[in-house]
Amino acid sequence: MKDVSFGQYYPVDSAIHRLDPRLKLLFLIAFIVVIFVANSFWGLLVCAGVLLLAVLLSHIPPWKVLRSVRGVIFLVLFTAVINVFFYAGETVYWSYGVITVSKEGIIFSVFLVLRLVLLVICSSLLTYTTTPVALTDGVESLLYPLKLIRFPVHELALIMSIALRMIPVLTEETGRIQNAQKARGADFESKNIVTRIKAFIPVLVPLLISALRRADELGEAMEARCYMGGKTRTKYKKLRFGWGDLVAFLIGAAMLAGVILLRVYVGGVL
């Protein structure tokens, strides 16, 4: 659970932290689109360069950003193995039944792993550099046109904010429960998968009870403060675009244009 970095905020003063949350949300969406538009290593190299620049400007230790990948390392390795053994290529190195190891399969697996790693790092960087309150304000502002059709924009943004706030809280709660179960003899590092699953059952039950209790307490606190949703609510801090946001927008636009040009003139990964 220590590897879970999504939803955690790293408090430091940097150019990335000071960017408008709406721009960072739009940049994340554009970055995800660009990652899937890129069909060559050169395109991913452009994305990696922009992401590296963002990490350096954020003043967040690179090891902390890379640690976010550890939480999904199993998914990354599983995806890579599946593509290596079941991707049909022309240059076959080894084959047995439906399993085939080819040059094209290895290249495509490496390409897919890099794509997933960039996606995870970019998503984690957003929560590292943006507070849950700022994310809530950004989502609510971007979805404001939906209010015209009576869509509960404020309530949706509030749900997202509460969910992000609860991630580190539940992570810490899970660690405490695991330590308590270890003191009672639970084995979470056994090589036997059945034993490990049985050891996690006493963790999930109190964790679920704790989450429900926290949700009930939060609901009562909001009712005691006469919370009425988004009706007639004002904001203490209003979002405004600055020169830094304009520079970040231009960098994002240049990245998108560069990847599209590489896709058109360079070709695919294989």
Q: Is the pLDDT of residue 175 over 60?
A: yes
Confidence of residue 269 (pLDDT cuts 50, 70, 90): low
Q: Is the pLDDT of residue 170 over 60?
A: yes
Quote the CA–CA distance of 255 and 51 in Å, as a whole number: 10
Q: Report if pTM > 0.95.
A: no
Range with lowest mean pLDDT among 9-23, 113-127, 154-168: 154-168
**pLDDT per residue as tens digits for the range 232-268:** 666 667 777 888 888 888 888 888 888 888 887 776 6
Element counts in the chain: helices (H) and strands (E): 9, 2
**pLDDT per residue as tens digits for the range 201-212:** 888 888 888 888
Q: What is the mean pLDDT of the chain?
A: 81
Residues in the chain: 270
Range with lowest mean pLDDT among 35-49, 117-131, 174-188: 174-188
Quote the CA–CA distance of 119 and 76 in Å, as a whole number: 11
Quote the CA–CA distance of 98 and 256 in Å, as a whole number: 38
